Amino acid sequence: MKVLLWAAIGFVVVMWLLRGKDRAAGVAGARARKNAALEGETMHKCAHCGVYVPASDTVRSASGTVYCSEDHRLRHEA
């Protein structure tokens, strides 16, 4: 019976130690994701309303002017 008790205590200690390593790895991963998110992408200013939008969401006219939406491109060119 004592052997089972010591085995259970040992199992709990090992799991507790492994949990600490997993948590440390999770924190390091979260920091890396946060830093990547902070770098982000280039922002461009809409020529019509002045709002800054990510480069992937911009709409460009034939002349290369940047807009935040197709509606603003049409309004500004009219």
Give the pLDDT mean for 1-11.
89
Range of the domain at 76: 42-78
pLDDT of residue 19: 75
**Judgement on whether residues 15 and 27 belong to the same structural domain of the protein:** yes
Model confidence pLDDT, tens digit, residues 20-72: 666 656 666 677 777 666 677 889 999 999 999 999 999 999 999 999 999 99
pLDDT of residue 38: 66
Kindly calculate the radius of gyration of the chain based on its CA atoms and give it in whole angstroms: 27
**Judgement on whether residues 33 and 7 belong to the same structural domain of the protein:** yes
Q: Inform me whether the pLDDT recorded for 73 exceeds 70.
A: yes
Quote the tokens at residue 9: 């205590």
How far is it, in rounded angstroms, from Cα 23 to Cα 38?
22
**Judgement on whether residues 30 and 15 belong to the same structural domain of the protein:** yes
